Structures are given as C-alpha cells and as structure tokens.
C-alpha cells in the first residue's frame, strides 16, 4: 500500500482532465470505505455522508498538490481524517470529556502520534528530508516483504506494533502470544539495523541513517503515509469469507482489530456493508451529485 498504482494514476489523469466518467469511477471505488471510516471515527453528531462530501470536494480543489507520494486511498483517508478533526473541534467537546475519550477510546494506532498531529507528509518540501523519507519507505517495504515472504507474521506484528503504534517492548509482549519483552527488543534492534542499511544503500551516505534509532515519530509518520503492512482489499475480503490460511488470518485480526488500523477497518466495514446495506447506492448517488460540479471549476 505504498505509492500510486497504475490504475489510480490513469484514473487521476481522467479526473485532472475533468472527465465526469473518471470522477464517477473514483467515487464508485472509494466512497464506501470513506463512509465506513467516517462512521467509525467521526463524532456522534457528524453526518458521515456530509463529511465525505467535504473531503472529496477538498480533494478536487487541492488536486494539484497531490504528488503521488502515497496511495490514492491513503491520501483520501488523510483528507477525511482532517475533516473529522475539524468536526470534532467545531463541537467544542468539554475538556474533561475529551480527556476521558482520549484515555479510554481508540486503538493503539489511533493513540500513537499521527501525521495530522505532526508536520504533514505532503507539506514538507525539503529535498533532503524527502529523500530520507523515500528511502525509509523503501526500507520499510523491504522489511515487511521479508517477513511476509517467510510467513513470519509474529515478527511482523512486533515490528508493526513498535514502529506503527509506538508501543513499548513490554506492551508489545503482552499483546503477542509467545513474545517476551527481550525478544521484542531483539526484533526491534534487527529491524532498525535492516532499515539503516537500506537507507544507507539508497542514499549512498551512512550519516543520514545514523539517527534512525531515535526517529520514532518519523518512522511512525512514514509508516502511516506508506502503509507497507496493510493487506490488500481483496485479502481482507478473503478473510471475511474464511478462505485465508490461519497464519494470514491471525495477522489480519491483529492488524485490524488489535492494533486497529483505521484504513483497513474502513475497508473491511465497507466490504461487510456492501451486500447488507440497501441504501448504499442512494448514498453513492448523492455524493456523486454533490461533488461532480466541483470537477469543472478552475
């Protein structure tokens, strides 16, 4: 789930050319998972349909700023998350209530620092930082691929919990059966070494990789933006159908339900609701009608 796919690149070319058919295809492809995301994460008074419409309009009006650093789905979720944050702020939730929700609600990933709380992935233009980020994306992709190819899902879960959710070694050990805090520390050390080596090879300079040990927030931000460990949508569907191998299914349960990846939860919810919600096509039509007019605006 890293950079822009060929299918989405072609779709974006059509949207940038102000082709209504391309916009309809984009809405068809993404509106369901965006609605599911908004329903799960929005404040109680927020209408999911309205906030998704606002997010899609924001996407159209800021399309020139999208560089393809992350997948289109990730970019849309980022915009939607910002709209949901705006909705929460507009509610003016009492501080005590907000504090209670912050402490008690949300998955480990949702409690970790996210890109909306730090400098934005898309706003940072510094060339050296951008090169480092691209090298980190590649390093994380390689690391995750190595675990998956070896079907080593336990170590993948450890690395994901450490770098994505920023959990401490002891907390990770409590979440993963058969893992001790010392084992988590070993896997973390090996992962950092692998990422450091990958960054050094990519940039040709070991100095850029020297600070990775202390770059927890940066690694979390890069992981959030590139989503290297997120299973494909059809894999989530296969898990719902019960056709995945037990190891894969256990990992998806950890990723989606234990750590609580918001993007994958939204995709799963959308897949579950697609056949069960007769109003889905009505919502889709309303979203399309309310946003297509912005396609032709200069």
pLDDT digits (tens, 9 = 90+) for 148-202: 999 999 999 999 999 999 999 999 999 998 899 999 999 999 999 999 898 888 8
Q: Give me 124's structure tokens.
A: 């940072």
Cα(99)–Cα(76) distance, integer angstroms: 28
User: Comparing 66 with 278, which gets the higher pLDDT?
Assistant: 66
Residue 277 pLDDT greater than 80, yes or no: no
Q: What is the pLDDT of residues 216-253, one digit of tens each?
A: 678 888 898 889 999 999 999 999 999 999 999 999 99
User: Comparing 22 with 277, which gets the higher pLDDT?
Assistant: 22
Residues 128-142 have a mean pLDDT of: 86
| H-state helical runs in the chain | 6-16, 20-41, 48-61, 72-91, 95-104, 108-111, 127-149, 153-159, 169-175, 181-203, 216-226, 233-241, 246-253, 262-274, 280-291
% of residues, the chain, pLDDT over 70: 76
Cα(92)–Cα(252) distance, integer angstroms: 36
Residue 205 pLDDT greater than 50, yes or no: yes
Judge contact between 25 and 11, C-beta under 8 A: yes
Residue 101 pLDDT greater than 90, yes or no: no
Question: Rounded mean pLDDT of the chain?
Answer: 81
Q: Which of 267, 279, 298 is nearest to 29 (CA)?
A: 267
Residue 126 pLDDT greater than 70, yes or no: no
56: phi > 0 → left, psi -120 to 50 → alpha, else beta; which? alpha
User: Comparing 132 with 172, which gets the higher pLDDT?
Assistant: 172
Say which DSSP state 231 is in: P
Q: How far is CA 297 from CA 15, 55, 292, 293, in A?
A: 12, 16, 10, 7
Task: Kindly give, in sequence order, each residue whose CB lies less than 8 Å from that of residue 52, ignoring residues fewer than 6 positions away.
Answer: 31, 34, 35, 38, 80, 287
Say which DSSP state 292 is in: G
pLDDT of residue 108: 63
């Amino acid at each position: 789930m890293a950079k822009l796919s060929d299918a989405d690149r072609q779709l974006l070319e059509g949207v940038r050319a102000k082709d209504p058919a391309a916009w309809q295809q984009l809405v068809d492809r993404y509106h369901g998972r965006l609605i599911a995301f908004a329903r799960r994460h929005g404040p109680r008074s927020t209408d999911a349909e309205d906030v998704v419409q606002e997010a899609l309009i924001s996407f159209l009006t800021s399309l020139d700023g999208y560089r393809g650093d992350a997948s289109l789905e990730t970019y849309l979720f980022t915009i939607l998350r910002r709209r949901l944050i705006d909705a929460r702020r507009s509610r003016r939730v009492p501080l005590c209530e907000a504090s209670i929700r912050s402490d008690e609600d949300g998955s480990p990933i949702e409690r970790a620092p996210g890109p909306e709380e730090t400098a934005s992935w898309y706003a940072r233009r510094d060339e050296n930082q951008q090169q480092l980020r691209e090298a980190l994306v590649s390093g994380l992709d390689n690391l995750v691929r190595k675990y998956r190819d070896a079907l080593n899902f336990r170590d993948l879960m450890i690395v994901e919990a450490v770098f994505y959710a920023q959990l401490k070694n002891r907390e990770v050990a409590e979440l993963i059966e058969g893992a001790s805090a010392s084992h988590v520390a070993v896997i973390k050390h090996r992962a950092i070494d692998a990422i450091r080596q990958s960054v050094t090879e990519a940039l040709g300079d070991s100095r850029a990789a020297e600070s990775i040990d202390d770059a927890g927030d940066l690694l979390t931000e890069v992981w959030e933006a590139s989503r290297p460990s997120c299973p494909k949508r059809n894999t989530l569907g296969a898990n719902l159908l019960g056709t995945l191998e037990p190891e894969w299914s256990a990992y998806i349960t950890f990723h989606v339900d234990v750590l609580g990846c918001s993007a994958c939860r939204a995709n799963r919810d959308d897949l579950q609701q697609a056949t069960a919600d007769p109003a889905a096509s009505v919502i889709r039509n309303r979203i399309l009608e309310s946003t297509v007019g912005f396609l032709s605006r200069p």
